[in-house]
Chain A
Amino acid sequence: MTARKGFDVIQGEPEAADPSRRSFLRTAAAGAALGALAGCGGVSMDDVLRKHFRELSKDDLAKVLTKVERRNKERFGKDTRVTAEGPRPGVEFGYGLDISRCVGCRRCVYACVKENNQSREQPQIHWIRVLEMEKEHGVDLTHADLYYDPGAVPQPGKFYFPVQCQQCRNPPCVKACPTQATWKEADGIVVVDYDWCIGCRCCMSACPYGARHFNWAEPKLPAEELNPVQHYLGNRPRPKGVVEKCTFCIQRVRNGRYPACVEICPVGARKFGNLLDPESEIRRVMDTKRVLVFKEELATHPQFYFFYAT
């Protein structure tokens, strides 16, 4: 397997390393492995023999998606539609967050949860985490509170700083993952293949923003709250024991829609668009506002920008 470089983004066809030898070895080993795996319920021949997502042929991919839909039906009793749209050419997503506007209402947190089918409790997974910071100290994590719970926001003397996956251009998580279960797509979204992740949690240690979350148990997702419009790399319901994170609502943005958090924000603190389009609102933000990135000294070069509109 050739080494993948840091800013590597996948354009076009994946390289085909000698597939025949690999698949032979894979089958041979799988035969042995299957005997051992007989005890671990729910593991089928297809699962073990499956190739990495980026090596799947069109037919294999279609089969995989059908299987995911079937599993959804078994788990939730609902019909779902799971797609795997690729990135659009000429698109590099940028996200802007206006710190002067965020009031800390957390509507974005729960809109995300509804849209992306997170586990609701045990564990409760939130992809967006809003910090209450003090105006006196500025962006200072030693004076930041994730668990603020006042009767009304915004509180005087405080400002609010939501954190989610920054979709770094130099992602430490992609570097750390031992199985290439997470990678950066051409439009900038860092994705996770939930069926490839081994649950080692290296990526979680490596992420400076605490943006990656683990399914410590089988996700608790009520069937009536399931969002049936799903993307294979995005909001399809996850199994236990794998890592997940914000994907900029990949199932929405690859169809031109805004992410759920951008749509729900009542004060318009969230901006989203194509950085390569000079007319987009995010480019306007970059051109006219004071923009900063979080933990800049780590040189992760995020595609998520904080700014002050006023």
Chain B
Amino acid sequence: MRETPTTLLILAVAVAIAAAPARASAPVKKKEVLYEARPPPFSDGIFPCSNCHDGKSMKPDPTRRELAFHDEQQSVFDHDAEHRWCLDCHDAQNRDVLRLASGAPVPFTESYRLCGQCHGDKFRDWRVGVHGKRVGQWDGEKTYLLCVSCHNPHSPRFKGVKEITVDGKTTIAPTLELLRPEPRPRRPDEMRGWKRPATAEGAR
């Protein structure tokens, strides 16, 4: 019976060794992957935030309150407003980054990591391209769109999108309104008539 503690110890070590890889990679199986994504759709002139929040002219104040500025976001704020406010996501010390629940900073270009904390199922779908949109090649390189390209993080409930053109390429930006649909198809009886193909327009 004196071998039992030794046996148990060996077993415990073996289990620890076996479990080590699993533990080290929890909660994701792979290393944190960065996704090539379009840049965040900032409003004009808002970034970098440290232009104003330089730590000197304004002191960070973690108390939840009504802000004197940023009324555009504040007036529509509807993202778990009961429990959350600005500094739960925006880093109080450095406004040029966001913060995870652990306090770790995350740049705006990787904001999906922040969203994915609470919205894990959407994040898992987004990672493999099932949620939201990717552009590129079906058999090759793809570019993602950040969550915030479609969802206004301050009022994320999806309403509609509008296309905007950036560098000659269309991308999408969230709207607070619904989308106007493209024209309906012509009914078959609206496609009546035959033009004699003598004019330039009809003759093709």
Q: Which residues in A have some Cβ–Cβ distance to B below 8 Å?
A: 75, 98, 103-107, 109-110, 121-124, 126, 129, 146-154, 216-221, 253, 256-258, 263, 265-268, 271-274, 277, 280-281, 284-285, 288-289, 309
Contacts and interface: CB of A to CB of B under 8 A. Distances in A.
B181 interface: yes
User: DSSP class of B's interface residues: helix, strand, loop or mixed?
Assistant: loop
Contacts of A220: 201-202, 204
Given A281-B128, A309-B131, A274 B179 contact: no
A75 B185 CA distance: 26
A26 B149 CA distance: 60
A145 to B, nearest CB: 9
A267 B183 CA distance: 18
Interface residues of B, number: 40
B197 A218 contact: yes
Interface string B171-193: 01000011111111111000101
A152 B191 contact: no
A263 B135 contact: yes
A253 B131 CA distance: 21
Contacts of B185: 109, 124, 126, 129, 146-147
B150 A267 contact: yes
B137 A258 contact: yes
Contact of B195 (A122, A126, A256, A258): A122
Nearest to B162: A266
Contacts of B135: 258, 263
A124 B191 contact: yes
A75 B129 CA distance: 41
Contacts of B150: 266-268
A263 B135 CA distance: 6
A150 B172 CA distance: 22
B128 A257 contact: no
Contact of B130 (A129, A153, A253, A285): A285
10 contacts: A122-B194, A150-B181, A152-B179, A152-B180, A153-B178, A154-B178, A217-B194, A268-B131, A274-B138, A274-B139
A183 to B, nearest CB: 23
Contacts of A103: 160, 179
Given A109-B182, A267-B161, A152 B177 contact: yes
Given A122-B191, A273-B138, A274-B138, 16 more contacts: A105-B180, A105-B182, A106-B184, A124-B186, A146-B185, A149-B183, A152-B160, A153-B181, A218-B204, A256-B137, A256-B140, A274-B139, A281-B128, A284-B129, A285-B130, A309-B125
A97 B201 CA distance: 38
A256 B133 contact: no
Given A121-B186, A146-B185, A221-B204, A153 B179 contact: yes
Contacts of A277: 139
- 7 closest A-B pairs (Cβ-Cβ)? A268-B133, A281-B129, A152-B178, A106-B182, A256-B137, A268-B132, A284-B128
